[in-house]
Structure formats: structure tokens, C-alpha cells
Amino acid sequence: MQNKEEYKNILVYIEQRDGIIQNVSLELISKAKDLAIKSNQKVFVYIPGYKIDEIHAKECFKYGADKCFISNDLLLKDYATETYTKVTTSLINKIKPESVLIGATTIGRDLAPRISARLYTGLTADCTSLDIDEETGNLLMTRPAFGGNILATIICPNHRPQMSTVRPGVMTKTIVNETKTIKIEYVNSSLTKDDLNIEIIETVKEKTQKKNIEDANILVSGGRGIGKKENVETLKNFADEIGGMLSGSRAIVDCGWIEPNHQVGQTGKTVRPEVYFACGISGAIQHIAGMEESELIIAINKNPEAPIFDVADLGIVGDVNQIIPLLSQELKSHKLKKEA
């Protein structure tokens, strides 16, 4: 039986790729800081890798970390399941955090379940919300369930640490202090070549990096109301004209009209663009959960009673396939007038 009183503080696993800290990790530090204040704890961060230094630690402290643990090892230069699982599990056993937060990226989804298995604790994956029960200290981990039709709040009352992977984009990055004195502890990884159960011969990167919809300032999002697959091209052209990206609801992803990595919603991605065009989207709660934090929401729908208008800052009632070409034409006329 675990002595839960031995466990204290919140640990955020910091994912870096080629020395660049991923946004989701900084988002998690900000959220961990909020949780730590509620529960009178501290926020620790752990960065395994190669050539990780004070610059990386400063970035974490800017968003609310209280202490940074770093493992520098040539064997950690490239992500490998076994080596990263071993070093992270070892640190957790050493510092005994009450909660461990990891980004639900491709790496995080590979790493987190292996760590939880070695620690004999639970893991709640793909969370969209986190809170603390101040009476029990239990981490309240909320995630979509049953295809996004309900939100389930899960606890891990009998084991520590409590572990959660969290979707990128659902938490907000908040700069806490840019001048705070940083505390760094370098941790010996104790890795040997025997720990490498795979050999990375070559890393091949895409020549053209696709921008993620989570990083877009403007999104033009289509729903079933656009009618047919051919109309997706009209939305894409409009998005290109205004410097945005194309995205969509689950309905058109299921139809095969756009790629799954462009889906917005509980079962897709959570976005916070400056401008979000909801085109032919009715506004199911599962979709709204993924975009309601957008700064400006413009909804176009021919049904004046569509729920999307309840969250929209600006609503246009009409056929999206007529309105989008008109908007494109108006934008072109405006550009010509400015150039004249």
C-alpha cells in the first residue's frame, strides 16, 4: 500500500524536439501553476535530451516552473521509448511528485503509458480539463468519452503519482515572471548503450513542414452544411486569400472531405485562433468545445436557430456556398482599391 503523504508537488514532462520546447509543455506549466496554487504545491519540470541548458530552463520558469531537472546525455539526443521511459521513471521515483502531466503528442502518447505501467499507477489520456479536489488532493482529469458524446471526469484515488496526458491547445500559456531566479538540478541519466533496444540509423524529415491548425491565426472551418466535397476547395481558396488555414468539423472528416488532422472539436483538436469562420457548422457541443476560446467567431449558416450563433461574435444567415464567394469578391475589390 502506497503512503500517499510521501508524494507532493506537480511534475511537468517537457517535450523538446531538436532542442525546441514544444508549446504543449509550456501550456502545461501554466496549468500546473494554477493547480499548484490551489493545492499549496510547487511546479517541477523535467527536460531530458542532449545539449539542454539554462536557456531551456529559463523558458520554463517564465511560465511558472519552480525548479527544473535536466538530464543531458548523447543517448538522449533522439527520442527512443526505452531510454526516455527509463530516465523519466527514475526521476519520478526520486522526487515523488503527486501528479505528472505530459502533452498528448505522438511522443507523449508513446511515453506516458509505459511510465505509468512501471510506476504501477493509473493514466488518464487525452484530457481537455484539469482541476484539483482541495479536500482529497485528487487530480480531476476530464476527457471526452463514448466518441465525444460525454465528458468523463476521472480520478486516481489509491495510487500516486496521478498521471495525465493533455491535448495541445486546451490550456493557455501565461507568462508569470521573466526575471525570476532559476533553480536547476542536473540529473545523471545513468544510461548505457545496453539501454538502447533500437538503433536509429537515420532521421528523415519532411521537406515541407505542414503548419498545425493549432498554430493558425485564422481558421476557415467547414461543416456538413457546405453540401459536398467539391465545396471544400472554395473554403480552402478563401482561407488562402485571407492568410488562414482550412479546418472542419467531425462530420466532413467522417465523409473523407478533409484530413483528420484538420478536425476541430472534442475528438479532434482544440484551437484558439484570432479569427474562426464556422461555415455550415450547426454548432454541436462537441465542436464548440474545440473552438469556443477563439477571439472572434464568425458563423455562416442558413438555419437562424443553429446553436453556433449562440457562441458567435458575428452571425450571417444564408447559404455558405453563396456567401463565401461574395466575401472573396469583396476582399479582392478592397485590395484593388487600396492598391489604386
End-to-end CA distance of the chain, in Å? 77
Identify whether residues 169 and 84 lie together within a single domain.
yes
Same domain, 166 and 46: yes
Q: Into how many domains does the chain fold? A: 2
Q: Please, which residues bridge with residue 99 across strands?
A: 10, 162
Beta strand segments in the chain, E:
10-13, 16-17, 20-21, 43-49, 67-72, 99-103, 123-127, 129-132, 139-145, 150-154, 162-166, 184-186, 218-222, 245-248, 275-279, 296-301, 314-317
Q: Among the ranges 53-62, 85-94, 264-273, which has the highest mean pLDDT value?
A: 85-94
65 and 118 housed in the same domain: yes
Is the CB of residue 220 less than 8 Å from the CB of residue 247? Answer: yes
- What is the rounded distance in angstroms from the CA atom of residue 115 to the CA atom of residue 95? 15
Neighbours of 290 (CB within 10 A): 28
Identify whether residues 175 and 315 lie together within a single domain.
no
How far is it, in rounded angstroms, from Cα 194 to Cα 255?
47
Torsion sign over Cα 80, 82, 83, 87 = positive
Clarify whether residues 181 and 48 are in a common domain. Answer: yes
Same domain, 243 and 175: no
pLDDT at residue number 187 = 92
pLDDT at 323: 92
Q: Please report whether residue 200 resides in a domain.
A: no
Q: What would the grid cell of residue 105 be?
A: 503528442
- Structural domain includes residue 206: no
The verdict on residue 83 lying in a domain is yes
Q: Is residue 107 part of a domain?
A: yes
Over residues 296-335, the pLDDT tens digits come to: 999 999 999 999 999 999 999 999 999 999 988 888 777 6
Within a domain: 222: yes
Question: pLDDT tens for residues 103-161?
Answer: 999 999 999 999 999 999 999 998 989 999 988 889 999 988 766 667 889 999 999 99
Are 28 and 144 within one domain? Answer: yes
Examine the pLDDT at 340 and tell me if it is beyond 60.
no
> Which residue, of 195, 224, 243, is where some domain finishes?
195
Question: 237, exposed or middle or buried, with CB in 10 Å at 0-12, 13-18, 19+?
Answer: middle
Shared domain for 156 and 218, answered yes or no, is no
**Residue 208 domain-assigned?**
no
What confidence score (pLDDT) does residue 159 get?
93
Residue 172 belongs to domain with CATH number:
3.40.50.620
Element (H or E) spanning 188, and its range?
A: none
Confidence of residue 210 (pLDDT cuts 50, 70, 90): low
Number of neighbouring beta carbons within 10 Å of residue 129: 16
Percent of the chain surpassing pLDDT 70: 94
Supply the range of the domain harboring residue 306: 213-339
Tell which of 162, 195, 228 closes a domain.
195
132 closest CA partner among 64, 8, 35: 35
Task: Give the CATH number for residue 258.
Answer: 3.40.50.1220
Q: Do 178 and 218 reside in the same domain of the chain?
A: no
> Within this chain, do residues 103 and 244 fall inside the same structural domain, yes or no?
no
In a domain, 102, yes or no: yes
What pTM was estimated for this model as a whole?
0.78
Assess whether 132 and 272 both reside in one domain.
no
Check pLDDT > 80 for residue 246: yes
162 and 44 share one domain: yes
Average pLDDT, the chain: 89
Per-residue pLDDT tens over the stretch 10-48: 999 999 998 899 999 999 999 999 999 999 999 999 999
Residue 203 forms part of a structural domain: no
